[in-house]
Amino acid sequence: MRINTAFDSGNIDVIEANSSDNIRLTIRKDHQSDFYQWFHYKLFAEVGEEHVMIIENAGKSAYPDGWKDYQALASYDRDTWFRVPTEYDGEKLTIRHTPEQESVYYAYFVPYSYERHLDLIQQAQQSVDCYHELLGETIDGRELNLLIIGEPSEEKNTIWVTARQHPGESMAEWLMEGLLGRLLDDEDGVARKLLDENVFYVVPNMNPDGSVRGHLRTNAVGTNLNREWAEPSLEKSPEVFYVLKRMQETGVDMFLDVHGDEALPYNFVAGCEGIPSYDERHKHLEETFKNALLAATPEFQDEFGYEKDEPGKANMTVACSAVGERFKCLSYTLEMPFKDNADLPDEDFGWSSTRCQRLGEDVLTAILAVSPILRKV
Ligand SMILES: [Zn+2]
């Protein structure tokens, strides 16, 4: 029996793996940070024997509530990921699985590799509607890629969509794959109409270094990018620095920042009601987008989510608030679950990569509903 993590987004340390009924593991912290929760490892197993894998430091991870009712993911072919029985006792997370093949992968959520990211960029570039721009390089020397979709023009709205500031939230990039697939489909009426009225600036992965390193929440030097939007720096947060600089050149009429939430088993949005300039216009834009997404898919709901900020009490280092205030635009954080959508549960797969993609397609329907009023007073 062996465990290996020497691959893209691998993360686990082995304390002991001598017998299949007592495999003791710990999750590694993000480099230069105390955050941890993402895990991804490969087990060389005894076929037909139950394996009991205990993550001993689960209770001290970034979001212990995330383990309640959580079921880990497993895959034989790295394409289909299914849920396996998982228990949490307030301290340790125990995953039980009887492998049917010699080796199995386990992960916190369906991984989205850097190689797949590079494929996504090159495939998008094949479209005549898409222009690929290198915003800059990360601390580890990876690409920070921007896709510009639609012909830029003064009359059109500028819509920015970013994902995966928190690299362990791989669902965010799965959503981007669905969104891009639809937006670049020239036989899709919603996409064609959207590109008549808007230009999209899409960053499918804001944090490639953290993604490859198997981090939960930070980049190569332990920076939480979603706390850097007041004053990003090339030393600590080049990813945010380059994106914000480009936003200042293009202006922003709408911003959507895509994330995953460890604890809540729902899809939901968080707005910027706490920013100084929040007003009726802003509220109307939020309501219009939200109602259109509610009408588009039962995967989205507005009952469960984060507590709303008090007026003027927003954290201005967070992307959604910083961009909403600076550009006086509709600005939303979109959150997806690691677990499942409790309104539409799926015992075998939970919240899956395909469901992320579908939600990405439906987000475009909601953007179409709000597009005509993004600039109107
Ligand atoms: Zn996040």
Residues around ion ligand 1, judged by CB within 5 A, are 166, 169, 259
Distance 224 CA to ligand 1 centre (A): 9
pLDDT digits (tens, 9 = 90+) for 338-361: 999 999 999 999 999 999 999 999
Task: Grade residue 377 by pLDDT with cuts at 50, 70 and 90.
Answer: low
Percent of the chain whose predicted confidence (pLDDT) is above 90: 99
Identify the pLDDT of residue 9: 98
Distance 123 CA to ligand 1 centre (A): 26
Distance 192 CA to ligand 1 centre (A): 30
pLDDT digits (tens, 9 = 90+) for 200-236: 999 999 999 999 999 999 999 999 999 999 999 999 9
Task: Grade residue 160 by pLDDT with cuts at 50, 70 and 90.
Answer: very high
Distance 320 CA to ligand 1 centre (A): 11
Identify the pLDDT of residue 310: 95
Distance 189 CA to ligand 1 centre (A): 31
Residue for token digits 């987000």? 363
Distance 343 CA to ligand 1 centre (A): 22
Contacts of 65 (CB under 8 A, 6+ apart): 262, 263
Identify the pLDDT of residue 371: 98
pLDDT of 86 higher than 70: yes
Annotated active-site residue in 239, 325, 335, 361: 335
Report d(CA 159, CA 62) in Å as an integer: 32
pLDDT digits (tens, 9 = 90+) for 295-327: 999 999 999 999 999 999 999 999 999 999 999
For 213, half-sphere exposure in the C-beta direction (CA atoms, 13 angstrom radius) is 26
Over residues 107-134, the mean pLDDT reads: 98
Q: What is the chain's mean pLDDT, rounded? A: 98
Considering the entire predicted model, what is its pTM? 0.98
Give yes or no: 335 in active site: yes
Report d(CA 174, CA 293) in Å as an integer: 18
pLDDT digits (tens, 9 = 90+) for 178-188: 999 999 999 99
| 365-375 exposure pattern, b = at least 16 Cβ within 10 A, e = fewer | bbbbbbbeebe
Distance 260 CA to ligand 1 centre (A): 5
Over residues 62-88, the mean pLDDT reads: 98
Over residues 9-28, the mean pLDDT reads: 97
Distance 24 CA to ligand 1 centre (A): 28
pLDDT digits (tens, 9 = 90+) for 226-245: 999 999 999 999 999 999 99
